[in-house]
Structure 1
Amino acid sequence: MNDRFIVVDVETTGHSVAKGDRIIQIGAVIIENGEIVERFASFVNPNVDIPPFIEELTGITNDMVQKAPTFKELCPELLPLFDNVGFIAHNVPFDFSFLKKQFDLEGYQMPKMNCYDTVELSRLLLPKEESFKLGHLAWQLGLSHDRPHQADSDAEVTAELFLHLLNKLEQLPILTLQQLIPIVRHFRSKLEPMISSFIATKLLHGTEDEEKFDCYRQLALKKRNESVEETSSDKPVTFKDYRNDLLSEKKGLNEAFKKYEAREGQVEMMDEVDHAFHENEHILIEAGTGTGKSVAYLLPAAMYAQEVNKPVVISTQTIPLQDQLLQRDLPLLQKLLPFPVTIALLKGRSHYLCLRKFEQALETVADDTYDVRLMKAQILVWLTETDHGDVEELNLSSGNRGFWFDVQSDSKSDLGKNSPWFSRCFYHRARRRARVAHLVITNHALLLTDLVREQQILPAYSHAVIDEAHHLVEAASDHLGMNTDFVTFSYLLQRIGLDKDYGLFPHFERLINEYKVGNSHLVSEAVSHLQVMKEELDELFRMLNNYVADKSKTVASDVGRISYRYQSFDESGSIWNAILECTMRVHMFMKDITKSLRTIIHQFGEVKDSISYGDHGILTDAERLLEALADEEQTLYELLLEADPDFVYWIEIEPRGAKNATFIYSKPIQVAERLADDFFAKKKSVILTSATLSINGSFDYQLEKLGLFDFGTRVCTIASPFSYQEQAKLLIPTDMPSIKDVSDKQFAMDAAIKVWRIAERKRGKMLVLFTSYEMLKMVYEYIRDLSEMEPMPLIGQGITSGSRAKLIKSFKQAEEAILFGTSSFWEGIDLPGDELTSLVIVRLPFSPPDQPLLQAQLQRAKDEGKNPFMDVSLPQAIIRFKQGFGRLIRTKEDRGCVFVLDRRISTTRYGSGFIKSLPDVPVHEDKLEVLLDLYEDYL
């Protein structure tokens, strides 16, 4: 193992020495015995021009390198630094290979060195970080990084990062280090000698691992406090009893918040929640932005739970809100309440790691891909620090979702108390915590499992709070619907037996020989059926793809898929008949496969007492995979061979994807009856809250969709404490063309000019909201052309690479930028202050009428004698409009303008409904240049 390392960073004109790219700056730091002992830094004259993009990224200009030494002149000084050292870089494959090739070019040879990649080490040792970019890691670890993308600064911070990672690696328990050895042999970083050295030292001097960690079956887990106290009901304190203390000037809210401002709306909401719980009422509460609604429902909910000694369930739609409740609001609750409050987070079972499966997965490393090996190593480290075993804590690459499926918890392969891991099982621990908590935080999907499952996952409860309640109908529709696709089938078939290295069938061959039971010809028979079934499925999804391509050219979604709505028994033609026949053949093959595998598994029951724990796990996993495949096939059967008039069915295809890239869906047209009968009728009191529930002051639309009209449900509106008269303006340019008068292309061109004029006049941060991806793309491209002379960062959903969260993060970090977003960007984005000063709504957010579910809802409304536009399309659009408008003003200090480029808001009878549903905000209509003058003065 090296005790001396060199940390290197190079800035270059591009990615390829062979194509003429050269180094323009090199930074190096020497580490010896855990300390930085030497530094080297120099600009390098590349003898080629530095591209503008590189100048912008690094801040290094042609003038700065003009008088610098060439790389050839630096070689004699540089080479001695690489003698007998380990080579470290943040992305070793790039820095090492670029440096080596440039040395080769000058006739010098770099010595062979052990390499250490701090990107790889960060993934391994900091598995919870949301990004492994150097800037983010430096910020998270509190490392000074004043000049990102300059080699000397990058090398210095990489050296400090490496020392931090080395220290963390050394502190890992000996069991974890031992488990890492066979995995890291396949890494880019030469870690095995280093880890072996740490293990030898620990064995020599002894460790305190048993005191610090839960060491069990060759795994080290974070030690947990298992003494979960039951919620006490000795001296219950009611909210009414405690209300005066809570609102007093010296105690309660004033004591908990440093700068607490009394908010009438927050107190009113607390009273409403407490009253509804005690009177066993359902209530809809629309709480404007800034009300402080989380605390307003958590306080009375926690006090009610303590009073009656039963849990209250809090449900949200999004993970960020769950995180906010746990990280920001729970500590406040602990300060505010006169008793210790217990909160448990409970998610769907697939979120939790199954320790039995993971233990088993560690036995096979040699055949794993690099991604799977890295994930196994990440999980080993994560186990020493996680309390919950929840996959949301891990930063997984998309390629690792398949491995997570193999090690996630699920009911079908749960060995229960027969598993040696039962007492440590993350899922069962979460349920145990939930049973004794005052408040159980969950999501809408899990809340609604009661609608379709007999087994209750949540503890028994009668009172609930549903935040982000405008999503409940959509969540119920998703939950009661079905979907399948070729990739899901393909993965399950591979895992069961078609993949020789990864499937379970090779294990069956061994088990049959080892335990002298079963019939090996059944295995080969099942493999044969699986192979034919895969071929049939491939053909089926290809035929569906062709069928949709012929029938429809409608782009259905933000991801640019083509959709086609169908009713199985109404379709006709030879291709559809071939599709139905193929579906039946798949159904028959599934029966044969199930019969063969169940026979094999059943035969092992004869020797169950002699089967090892590991082999028992293999058989259990096989049953689980078989059941998952059977469920998927049953879904396919119902989607294509059955038809329920209360459901809508559709197929989506990727126009430029693989020929079997086909997705089949069904959803109920309405969920009101199911929610009424199977949810609200079974609960005593449900609080439904959101900032967007009413339309023009009326809650009737939501009451009808939720099925709450027959329950005597109360409604309540709590105004926002913000002064929208002073803080915001709604601006409507009159020189935009009417949507009906021009083509989409012309409208996009006009919209782009308007957006760019706004951006030119007020440099800052702007969010532009669209209702379709196609329109977004057109406007983005026009603005990109317009901004060539005065570039401004443009961040486009589906254009700029990265997830929604990454795009928002990039937007927050920029000093000025335009963010273009569709559906998911209309809500759930919190950009206070200077993070957002302008909002542009390109079109009123009517859902495209060709969306299959909306089509079916419009037809149903028509059949029931209603006005499809006024009763379905318009209310949906107004609620979405309110959500979009709500992105702008997030605090009392915020100021900004909302531009609406859709003239229908002021030229149609229904347009006034959008404005009336907003808070009392000043509205101005005029030509854009006039509005911009007003806008400039205002800001």
Structure 2
Amino acid sequence: MREKQMYAVVDIETTGTDPLTDRIIQFGCVLIKNGEIVSRFATDINPNQAISKQIQGLTGISNTRVQKAPYFEDVALTIYNLLADTIFVAHNIYFDYAFLSHELVRCGAPKLKIPGIDTVELAQVFLPTEKSFRLNDLAESLGLVHDNPHQADSDAQVTAELLLLIERKMYQLPLVTMEKITKLSHKLGMNTHDYISDIYEEMKNDIQPLSDQLKVVDGLVLRKKEVPLFQQQLYGGKNTFPKSKKAKQKRFSETIGYRAEQSKMMNLVYQHFTEDENKDLFIEAATGTGKTLGYLFPLSYLATPENPVVISTVSIVLQNQLLEKDIALANQVCEKKLHATVVKSHRHYLDLQRFKATLNFSNKAKQYVLYQMGVLVWLLETQTGDLDELQLTTLEHPFWYDVIHRGTAFLSEKGALYKEDFLRFLHKNIKQSNVLIVNHAFLSQETLREVPLLPKSSFLIIDEAHHLPDIAGRISSKQFNYFTFKKQVSLLQEKEQLFDKVSTSLKSYPEETRLVRIYDQSLNEVVEEFSDFFFELRQLFSSSQTRRFGEERLVEKELFDGLSIEGEILIQKIESLFSDMLQMQQRIQQIIERNLETFSVNERITFVRLLRFFETVQQVIDCFDIFVNDWQPCWVKEYLENKQGQVTLKVNNLEASILSSTLWYQRYEKILYTGGTLKFGKNKHYLSDKLGLTDVVFKTILDPYDYEDNARLFLPTESINIQESNPHELAQYIASVIREISDQEERPILVLFTSHESLANVYHKLQPDMLNRGREILAQGITGGREKLLKRFFHSKDSILLGADSFWEGVDLPGDALQILIVTRLPFENPKRPFVKARYNYLEDKGIDPFGQEALPKATLRLRQALGRLIRSRQDKGVLIVLDKRLVTAKYGKKMQRALPKNLPIKEIPFSEMLLELKEFLKK
């Protein structure tokens, strides 16, 4: 019986990860019985070897501390006896169990043979929406007190609390869900399945009624969901937009304070959508002006479900922020409420019918089963079925291919889960919403869709509009990796894989079955012809320039015209094969869609895999067609071959951001473009020119910050010449600056780079030194991804974060979380990159100065965005240190300075003086 069972929750700290050479330096154990912690045991252990600086920095356990501790030989039997007759529990049990068992045997004790449970796997199943399953991250997210991370006693305590929390949640789950999880859990490690099974058996003896918020449909327990009907107050309210200060103050009351800049924006937005003749209005409004409420409040008087406002922002994160934070705030002051729905493509949603079918699969891999069990728990919590709620970094796993939505046309209307479908629920919500929230990628993809997913409307708002040109460019670009395609084809053609399964499913349709076989053969021919084509393509480069692996090279018409006759023949063969394959794809797809209801759900899963592959083939065809045939100046074509000989073709459309060429621009009567950085100095047409817009209105909302009191920009006079320095000298200089500033200031420091190579060089120069000083150094792409690093940085007292790319903007670190920002180099694009060079040539051919009208404005706006990381409210205080002397020495430096806030003090002074001023300034 479980009530008699003792659970030993264990954590160990070691000198390294190899049990053959490394040793334990700390052992912690928490004993649990009857759902309560009954005892604790912890001890330091003398490893009889030096503890590295890295492990000391990680654990806080020093060589001095363990000198008087017992050797493992002294406590081995004590630990063995402590664990006897218990169930071993650990967070990532595979390390702790094996390492401890090895040490016990080394010291003469028996090998561990007790059962074990892994809390990582339990968390993945029963806490499916957590961002991270690292113990520290779970503790923080779940509110578990974790005094000393990476110390065995504290880690064991938190793991024990985590186990109890998960266990309580398991008992609260519906029996139907637990039954399915128990059946699937055989694939879990060690004895985790037995633990789940024992709890399930106990639950069967005391069956609890199903919660009112849940229902069982076709064997799945789902959260009930209702479409909130749009409600509008028709009587009792004035329903007129308050234009005057007095009217707004009365409307806002004490809910939000009146802000003159925000009020001005509200009036501009309302006027634009009700009176202006111009279609396009640009409003530059700095962070802190209340920009979002500045457009939401006036639109609340205009938008209806029949004519909704569509808001496009830069990312899914900001979409959710708009819905959960900004709309909620707006509805506290809006007389006419905003009903908002986040709109995403069908690929973001779970297909319940196909998920249910996967539960009948056998011989699944462990990760597949973990995802299945996690989804079963998530279905009790989600009303949207939006897979982004699971916070996964990627959906590139066979399980997600099997269950991601294909669209409502691919559902069985006769199935019991049809009425519960998440995508249908989304469409119902859209019809009851007067605000539809999308991101720029979704908006840009409207041009590529045969049927638009967004309705026509009088109102479109493009927030963070300066991102739109680059995102539109990325969406329109296409690429083809020959090695990946060849490998995918090979896997799908293996025995009992996709094409065999499709043929079996289509056995009632002999003509289509024959087409599948011909299609299969055509794929082999295409792969072979491509191999020969790339051989001919290589000859162009070998004859024109030195062959350099790993470097992108432009393919221009003059070069391509040198292709051999054999190469031209190969193009014709490939195009002919592709033409036949497209016809076969269309025929096979038609027979599947016409007879969808006759196929089982399992067969539909097979067909979804096939149709996904058809889409891949279509993308290859589109890319190849443009690469060999379309020589309009707007197309930039790149050829990349790595050291393994793997070839990638890329095509990029330089006119993708021209709005008149998109299908969605004409569908909106009036458009508002807003953001914090839309103009370059006095040039208000920088962004509108990039978007191909001419007849626009541009308004600026005055920056509300007092930069003279709140900020400083320092340039050390000793800065080295960046353009003439080699990578080693540059890294040495940047590292020395960071080191001296960090010696003086025990505050978080953000360091921005324009090159990942430079970032890595500086990290490797700083890391050993900072480790010795006990100062955490975080580096993008080395110690973690963006979100993980930002989270750790925000909660640290004195971390140093080295970031590139996305860290220049969209980073919200208010107050003391960020007061020192170092820019290592002015953020110009590398003009030697083939794509950048091609874009500059394209602009030059159009009579546009590529440096003055593209490179300089883009770099300046990025520098302004960096400054925006420091000052995000009237209370923020911060120092921007620029290590690139071109800001004061280059001819264009003055232009860049003038584009920064007028009252921002810019000081070029010796480094020693800068340190003194920095200290004094931040002290105030």
2:556 paired residue among 567, 588, 596: 567
Distance 1:552 1:383 in 2: 58
Equivalent position SS for 2:391: coil
Task: Write out per-residue CA displacement over residues 113-137 of structure 1, whole angstroms, 9 at most, x where no aligned residue.
Answer: 3321111111111111111111221
Asked if 2 retains the 8 angstrom alpha-carbon contact of 1:239 and 1:274, the reply is no
Distance 2:238 2:197 in 1: 57
Asked if 1 retains the 8 angstrom alpha-carbon contact of 2:228 and 2:429, the reply is no
Amino acid at match of 1:640: F
Q: State the partner residue of 1:645.
A: 632
The answer to which of 51-60 and 112-121 deviates more is 51-60
Amino acid at match of 2:679: S
Q: State the partner residue of 2:620.
A: 633
Distance 1:68 1:452, change over 3 A: closer
Distance 1:938 1:376 in 2: 55
Q: State the partner residue of 1:934.
A: 917
Asked if 2 retains the 8 angstrom alpha-carbon contact of 1:10 and 1:95, the reply is yes
Amino acid at match of 1:473: P
Q: Percent identity?
A: 30
Distance 1:125 1:246 in 2: 51
Aligned ranges 1:597-612 → 2 under 5 Å:
608=595, 611-612=598-599
Asked if 2 retains the 8 angstrom alpha-carbon contact of 1:375 and 1:396, the reply is no
Aligned ranges 1:83-94 → 2 under 5 Å:
83-94=84-95
Amino acid at match of 1:163: L
Aligned ranges 1:748-767 → 2 under 5 Å:
748-767=731-750
Distance 1:94 1:265 in 2: 57
Distance 1:592 1:678 in 2: 29
Distance 1:184 1:721 in 2: 57
Distance 1:107 1:726, change over 3 A: same
Equivalent position SS for 1:732: strand
Distance 1:626 1:79, change over 3 A: closer
Asked if 1 retains the 8 angstrom alpha-carbon contact of 2:282 and 2:672, the reply is yes
Q: CA deviation at 1:694?
A: 1.2
Q: CA deviation at 1:345?
A: 0.5
Equivalent position SS for 1:303: coil
Amino acid at match of 2:645: K
Q: CA deviation at 1:802?
A: 2.1
Q: State the partner residue of 2:863.
A: 881
Q: State the partner residue of 2:827.
A: 845
Q: State the partner residue of 1:469.
A: 465
Q: State the partner residue of 2:134.
A: 133
Task: Write out per-residue CA displacement over residues 645-692 of structure 1, whole angstroms, 9 at most, x where no aligned residue.
Answer: 143333364746x432x4332222234644477444442221111100
Q: State the partner residue of 2:11.
A: 9
The answer to which of 448-457 and 666-675 deviates more is 666-675
Q: CA deviation at 1:265?
A: 0.9
The answer to whether the aligner puts 1:923 opposite 2:922 as a matched pair is no
Distance 1:443 1:527 in 2: 38
Amino acid at match of 1:765: P
1:483 paired residue among 479, 483, 491: 479
Equivalent position SS for 1:434: helix
Distance 1:603 1:459, change over 3 A: closer
Q: CA deviation at 1:597?
A: 6.6
Q: CA deviation at 1:145?
A: 1.5
Asked if 2 retains the 8 angstrom alpha-carbon contact of 1:650 and 1:852, the reply is no
Distance 1:54 1:629, change over 3 A: closer
2:449 paired residue among 420, 436, 453: 453
Q: CA deviation at 1:547?
A: 7.0
Q: CA deviation at 1:373?
A: 2.2
Amino acid at match of 1:331: A
The answer to which of 186-195 and 618-627 deviates more is 618-627
Distance 2:579 2:455 in 1: 36
1:288 paired residue among 286, 289, 297: 286
The answer to which of 287-296 and 813-822 deviates more is 813-822
Amino acid at match of 2:299: A
Q: CA deviation at 1:109?
A: 1.7
Q: State the partner residue of 2:493.
A: 498
Amino acid at match of 1:933: L
Q: CA deviation at 1:92?
A: 0.1
Aligned ranges 1:697-716 → 2 under 5 Å:
697-710=682-695, 713-716=696-699
Equivalent position SS for 1:275: helix
Aligned ranges 1:813-824 → 2 under 5 Å:
813-824=795-806
Asked if 1 retains the 8 angstrom alpha-carbon contact of 2:512 and 2:588, the reply is yes
Q: State the partner residue of 2:439.
A: 443
Q: State the partner residue of 1:687.
A: 672
Distance 1:548 1:190 in 2: 59
Amino acid at match of 1:100: S
Equivalent position SS for 1:165: helix
The answer to which of 319-328 and 438-447 deviates more is 319-328
Distance 1:327 1:651 in 2: 42
Q: State the partner residue of 2:341.
A: 344
Equivalent position SS for 1:428: helix
Distance 1:653 1:86, change over 3 A: farther
Distance 1:854 1:78, change over 3 A: closer
Distance 1:289 1:554 in 2: 48
Asked if 2 retains the 8 angstrom alpha-carbon contact of 1:239 and 1:300, the reply is no
Q: CA deviation at 1:347?
A: 1.3
Task: Write out per-residue CA displacement over residues 552-578 of structure 1, whole angstroms, 9 at most, x where no aligned residue.
Answer: 8999xxxx962212135642556x776
Q: State the partner residue of 2:295.
A: 297
Distance 1:380 1:831, change over 3 A: same
Amino acid at match of 1:566: V
Distance 1:609 1:867 in 2: 56
The answer to which of 393-402 and 692-701 deviates more is 393-402
Equivalent position SS for 1:209: coil
Distance 2:707 2:589 in 1: 67
Distance 2:80 2:330 in 1: 60
Distance 1:92 1:199, change over 3 A: closer
Q: State the partner residue of 1:26.
A: 27
Unpaired runs of 5+ residues, structure 1, are none
Q: CA deviation at 1:237?
A: 5.2
Distance 1:239 1:761, change over 3 A: farther
Aligned ranges 1:765-844 → 2 under 5 Å:
765-784=748-767, 790=773, 792-798=775-781, 800-844=782-826
The answer to which of 779-788 and 719-728 deviates more is 779-788
The answer to whether the aligner puts 1:666 opposite 2:651 as a matched pair is yes
Q: CA deviation at 1:751?
A: 3.7
Q: State the partner residue of 2:254.
A: 255
Q: CA deviation at 1:447?
A: 1.8
The answer to whether the aligner puts 1:153 opposite 2:154 as a matched pair is yes
Distance 2:310 2:335 in 1: 21
Q: Give the total of aligned pairs.
A: 917
Aligned-pair RMSD on alpha carbons?
3.3
Distance 2:15 2:629 in 1: 60
Distance 1:88 1:751, change over 3 A: closer
Task: Write out per-residue CA displacement over residues 591-629 of structure 1, whole angstroms, 9 at most, x where no aligned residue.
Answer: 5555667667777899x5993432552464265235313
Unpaired runs of 5+ residues, structure 2, are none
The answer to whether the aligner puts 1:868 opposite 2:850 as a matched pair is yes
Using the size of structure 2 for normalisation, the TM-score is 0.91
Distance 2:200 2:769 in 1: 61
Q: State the partner residue of 2:360.
A: 363
Asked if 2 retains the 8 angstrom alpha-carbon contact of 1:127 and 1:394, the reply is yes
Equivalent position SS for 1:714: strand
The answer to whether the aligner puts 1:332 opposite 2:329 as a matched pair is yes
Equivalent position SS for 2:900: coil
Asked if 1 retains the 8 angstrom alpha-carbon contact of 2:814 and 2:873, the reply is yes
Q: CA deviation at 1:699?
A: 1.1
Q: CA deviation at 1:702?
A: 1.6
Distance 1:639 1:692 in 2: 34
Asked if 1 retains the 8 angstrom alpha-carbon contact of 2:812 and 2:869, the reply is yes
Distance 1:563 1:906, change over 3 A: same
Asked if 1 retains the 8 angstrom alpha-carbon contact of 2:457 and 2:667, the reply is no
Distance 1:304 1:788, change over 3 A: same
Q: CA deviation at 1:887?
A: 1.4
Asked if 2 retains the 8 angstrom alpha-carbon contact of 1:45 and 1:65, the reply is yes
Q: State the partner residue of 1:425.
A: 421
Equivalent position SS for 2:241: helix
Asked if 2 retains the 8 angstrom alpha-carbon contact of 1:27 and 1:155, the reply is yes
Distance 2:259 2:593 in 1: 66
Distance 1:415 1:475, change over 3 A: same
Task: Write out per-residue CA displacement over residues 390-443 of structure 1, whole angstroms, 9 at most, x where no aligned residue.
Answer: 222213365844532332223497237465543322223222212221211110
Equivalent position SS for 2:341: strand
